[in-house]
Amino acid sequence: MQPKALTATSVQLHANYIRAHLAKLYPKPKVPLHHHDPFTLLIAVLLSARCTDVRVNNVTPTLFALADNPFTMAQIPVEKVRTIIRPCGLSPTKAKAIVGLSTILVEQHAGKVPADISALEALPGVGHKTASVVMVQAFGVPAFPVDTHIHRLAKHWKLTEGKNVTQTERDLKQLFPQESWHDVHLQFIYYGRDKFTAWQKDPQACEIYRHLFSNTKD
């Protein structure tokens, strides 16, 4: 039986519980993509689109040994980048974006990744989620990136009725305090990978779901 619709107060109480529970499971979550500065984080997140973090982490050491800054990367032939990142998928598009955004960073931003979400989103291959990850994880600017894991879990836990990540992001930002966004979005991801994957169809397999919706009148 599906739980009935929740009141706004119940949803907030559930969000509070989820935040506390995730903090116990993952007290100091770190970005699972290997990087050492804003530029390498930007490239790693870009590569992670439709690709696992494990595969990205296998590829980036070779890529960053070749070029780990915009000045050098802008000089690398696109085809050479493509050859290295091919295991990540979508390599023609991603390689062109990596070299293109590196050129823009050199020409328009003195070789630095801008701490501005609009400027980031203007870069080739950089969407809102990627820009948000860089803002919150590289620069500490509050942002709540929503990927498929977060969107799936937010709906599973009835925190949102969002039909897309944009609405889900808006709802989650209202439920979780701004100072927690840095950790919570990573904790959602880790939980979605470790505890309740997309392959698990039984809601009761999720310990948080069981706590929130078993033997409750909500």
Catalytic amino acids? Answer: 129, 147
What are the b/e assignments for 28-64, b being 16+ CB within 10 Å? Answer: ebebbbebeebbbbbbbbbbbbebebeebbebbeebb
Cβ neighbors of 102 (< 8 A, separation 6 or more) are 67, 70, 71, 73, 74
Q: What's the rounded Cα separation, in Å, for the pair 66 and 59?
A: 11
Q: Nearest-5° angle of CA 201, CA 205, CA 208? A: 115
Q: Are 185 and 144 in contact (CB under 8 A)?
A: yes
Q: Are 159 and 5 in contact (CB under 8 A)?
A: no
